[in-house]
């Protein structure tokens, strides 16, 4: 780079420390070199001096002088329900794809994209899969679902035989599905299980699940496990959730049932009138299907895939200083 550049901070970079921002954009730049540039005022944020621990915000302009190091690979546009609007179905599927072999596709579904059609749904994954019919005319098949507003792992079978095998694995619960969520408050104990019966009810805002009364007709058993990964004082908690059963909205209902609803949940988040939504956090559902471990249709091994967080959760994780590596602690 031979000239001064002004680079605008992206929405999913909000909350990043300035040194981490440079590490992403200019991986060859040493920390000591960056400190010298900051001390001399050559690197500025919105025209003002900054430090390595300055946290950047979306829309800010970062002045980057000639540094003699190569920039990282250009950032690709983040896939969201808005950015995919003018893209061809096949292109959207390609950008969602995180794993494939002869029998299976694994996608990272963005929040806001429905898996199947329904009332008021113009575009959905099942319809988009028409673009990926194979030479025999076979369309890839859905084998499970995740909520429209939930992002993350979605497994799709490429053949009829693979669909039978994968569906059996889900039905017999021979799969491990892990979700990440941000909830209000901090659950106590930090690890636990939630076991209830759930029933669907009609409301003015559409179908909604609720915890059933003892012996209520039409109720199904739902079992979830949770673990607190990190927290912000006693105000918020990053939790990992594992559904043992697969009921509609199960994790969302269970989080609310234990008194710690998922932030941004339009159906199940309730709070008192004195509570304010945290600044810098988007009012979108903070629930992400992070990981799946499932037997491969051919047998003998398991598919184990992790889906990166969606932009609104990246922003929140940066804001709260959550370290994704902490999930393994």
Minimum mean pLDDT among 56-70, 110-124, 194-208, 262-276: which range? 56-70
Beta pairing partners, 124: 114
| CATH number of the domain where residue 56 is located | 3.10.290.10
Task: Determine the average pLDDT of the residues in 59-83.
Answer: 73
Element housing 305 (H / E): strand 302-306
Residues 260 and 252: their CA atoms lie apart, in Å, by: 10
Cβ-proximal residues to 193 (8 Å cutoff; 6+ apart), any chain:
223, 224, 225, 226
For residue 129, tell me if it sits in a domain: no
pLDDT by residue (tens digit) across 271-312?
Answer: 777 888 898 899 999 999 999 999 999 988 999 999 999 999
What does the mean pLDDT of the chain come to? 89
Omega before 189 within 30 of 0, i.e. cis:
yes
pTM summary value: 0.78
Inter-CA distances, 96 with 89, 135, 265, Å: 11, 22, 23
Q: Is 238 a residue whose pLDDT tops 60?
A: yes
Half-sphere exposure of 19 (CA within 13 A, CB side): 11
| CATH number of the domain where residue 279 is located | 3.30.2350.10
Among 12, 46, 147, 265, the one annotated catalytic: 147
Taking the alpha carbons at both ends of the chain, their separation in whole angstroms is 40
Could you say which of 64, 89, 109 is where a domain stops? Answer: 64
Is residue 223 a contact partner of residue 193, using CB atoms and an 8 Å limit? yes
Q: What is the structure's pLDDT at 230?
A: 97
Residues 98 and 153: their CA atoms lie apart, in Å, by: 9
Above pLDDT 70, what percent of the chain? Answer: 95
Q: What is the structure's pLDDT at 220?
A: 94
Q: Is 207 a residue whose pLDDT tops 90?
A: no
Residues 98 and 253: their CA atoms lie apart, in Å, by: 29
- Residues 196, 321, single domain; the answer is yes
Minimum mean pLDDT among 222-231, 253-262, 271-280, 304-313: which range? 271-280
Range of the domain at 15: 5-64
Minimum mean pLDDT among 209-213, 293-297, 316-320, 324-328: which range? 324-328
Helix segments in 115-234, DSSP class H: 125-128, 160-171
Q: Would you call 149 a catalytic residue per the annotation?
A: no
Could you say which of 29, 64, 99 is where a domain stops? Answer: 64
As for how many domains the chain has, the answer is: 2
């Amino acid at each position: 780079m031979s000239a001064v550049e002004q680079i605008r901070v992206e929405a999913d970079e909000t909350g990043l420390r300035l040194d981490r921002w440079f590490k992403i954009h200019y991986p060859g730049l040493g920390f000591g070199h960056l400190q010298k540039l900051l001390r001399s005022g050559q690197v500025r944020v919105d025209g003002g001096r900054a430090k390595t621990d300055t946290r950047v915000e979306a829309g800010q302009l970062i002045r980057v002088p000639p540094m003699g190091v190569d920039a990282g690979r250009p950032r690709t546009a983040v896939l969201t329900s808005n950015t995919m609007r003018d893209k061809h179905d096949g292109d959207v599927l390609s950008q969602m794809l995180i794993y494939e072999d002869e029998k299976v596709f694994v996608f990272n579904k963005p929040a806001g994209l429905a898996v199947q059609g329904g009332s008021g749904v113009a575009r959905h994954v099942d319809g988009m899969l028409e673009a990926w019919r194979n030479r025999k005319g076979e369309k890839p098949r859905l084998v499970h679902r995740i909520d429209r507003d939930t992002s993350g792992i979605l497994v799709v079978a490429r053949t009829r035989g693979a669909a039978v095998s994968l569906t059996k694995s889900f039905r017999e619960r021979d799969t491990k599905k892990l979700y990440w969520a941000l909830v209000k408050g901090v659950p106590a104990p930090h690890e636990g299980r939630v076991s209830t019966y759930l029933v669907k009810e009609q409301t003015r805002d559409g179908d909604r699940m609720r915890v059933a009364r003892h012996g209520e007709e039409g109720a199904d058993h739902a079992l979830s496990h949770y673990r607190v990964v990190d927290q912000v004082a006693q105000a918020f908690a990053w939790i990992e959730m594992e559904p043992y059963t697969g009921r509609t909205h199960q994790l969302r209902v269970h989080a609310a049932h234990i008194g710690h609803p998922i932030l941004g949940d339009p159906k199940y988040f309730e709070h008192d009138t004195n509570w304010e939504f945290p600044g810098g956090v988007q009012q979108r559902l903070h629930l992400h299907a992070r990981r799946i471990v499932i037997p491969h249709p051919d047998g003998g091994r398991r598919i184990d895939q992790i889906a990166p967080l969606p932009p609104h959760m990246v922003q929140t994780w940066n804001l709260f200083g959550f370290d994704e590596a902490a999930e393994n602690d």
